[in-house]
Amino acid sequence: MANPAGLPFDNSYIKLPERFYARLAPTPVAAPRLVKLNRALAFQLGLDPEVLASPEGVEMLAGNLVAPGSEPIALAYAGHQFGNFVPQLGDGRAILLGEVIDRGGQRRDIQLKGSGRTPFSRGGDGRAAVGPVLREYIVSEAMAALNIPTTRSLAAVTTGEPIWRDGELPGAVLTRVASSHIRVGTFQFFAARGDSEALRLLADHVIARHYPEARDSDQPYRVLFERVIARQASLVAKWLLVGFIHGVMNTDNCSIAGETIDYGPCAFMDAYNPETVFSSIDQQGRYAYAHQPSIAHWNLARFGETLLPLLAEDSDAALAIANEVLPSFRGHYVEALIGGLRAKLGLTTEQEEDAELAQAFLNALTDGQADFTLAFRRLGDAAVDPAADATVRSLFESKPEAFDAWAVRWRQRLEAEPMDGAARKAAMDAVNPVYIPRNHRVEAALTAAAEREDYAPFEELLTVLAKPYEARPEFAAYEEPPPPDQRVYRTFCGT
């Protein structure tokens, strides 16, 4: 049979021993219907979007048809969930169809989410509702447009079958693309079993796939640890620079490739507050916005523990290496964050007081209950014309004088900068988005899709978010924070 989607599978993970995964096909669904195909991503992957959108292609995207070359598997992993270790989690509602080499020569996983029960489902139905599927599609593609490392969404398909959560919901399947689906929790799965052979095989696979520069080192597993730390530090800094809150930074949601993965109760802040929590399941605020760097560090410490048998034969020597490497996280993170904040404030040179200047602005945003995204974006206008300060000041619902005092310091600092106002504004607009996936807009799109099968709000939102740094008058309403009666305070996992 011809390959229905022209998928040139080149699978590597399945060459690892069978204790790394379970072989099984997706569970077929009743009446698959294509809701959205990411044609641009399909092209990047070297796939034919017309074939993917064909009836046979949709059958594959729904899990009804297993394409030749696909070797579907559910991956095994463990994880700390809200600080509590669970020795076996795994893909409970996801199946990896296989891997392709994209047009840039990068290996990419293609996975179905919501594709039915697996041996790791732990009593769940293995399905997904249309709301969470479209949420992941929206937010992951927005993150890609914001230049933040992320998994991607290739397609969303409704199943024609209901699923049951708090009530009856329409079912759906997401096709997700990732550099890999290997997590800190994947290493923890084997470490918890004392399976040093599997740990070494997994580490060697990760090095070959993601960090080939480590292969020629005298200490390849140390270099692996260093590189994963650096990528995670950079990633979390990028999250904070756009006001993103992951919501469930469990170790099984921490990608070894350094991509944002598993968009459950995630959200973007409107009014800036470092203690913001959206996740309905994060009752203690463990994964609040400002806690994300420390949690990433904690997750990486757990990763380091799994590498101890590989770092040195002597346990004390291995621990010494891990403890020597782990503190590098803070340096990478601070450098990425402060560098990003400088750019957001229109600073191209470095001065010692820049970090304090940036923090003072964030403090003013908190005191003034000002919108994070709009405040930074409007600073670009103020960089050209001080009269535009009023547009920034108007965002401060309380204590607008806090901005006035800070703006004096900011302008004094700008005097030491070489760029003129127009060039500075252009540089600031290139890093300060005008559009983010505001929670009330996302919820409105999901409600329209789930309750009325109206996908127009979803499509328009995707159009807006595809160019987050480009102000377009026809989409001006998407810039605005929600009115009080539309503010979203809690988001849900959707599992």
DSSP result, 308-343:
HHHH-SSHHHHHHHHHHHTTHHHHHHHHHHHHHHHH
**Which residues 6+ apart lie within 8 Å of 95 measured at CB?**
24, 25, 26, 63, 72, 73, 74, 111, 112, 115, 116, 118
DSSP lists the bridge partners of residue 187 as: none
Contact yes or no for 486/441 (Cβ under 8 A): no
204 is catalytic: no
∠ Cα 260 335 311 (to 5°) = 70
**Which residues 6+ apart lie within 8 Å of 94 measured at CB?**
74, 75, 111, 112, 113, 114, 115, 118, 176, 181
- From 91, 109, 252, 371, the catalytic residue: 252
Closest CA to 76 of 180, 159, 190, 177: 190
Distances (CA, A) of 55 to 61, 228, 328, 371: 10, 41, 51, 45
**What is the rounded distance in angstroms from the CA atom of residue 78 to the CA atom of residue 185?**
5
The catalytic residue positions are 252
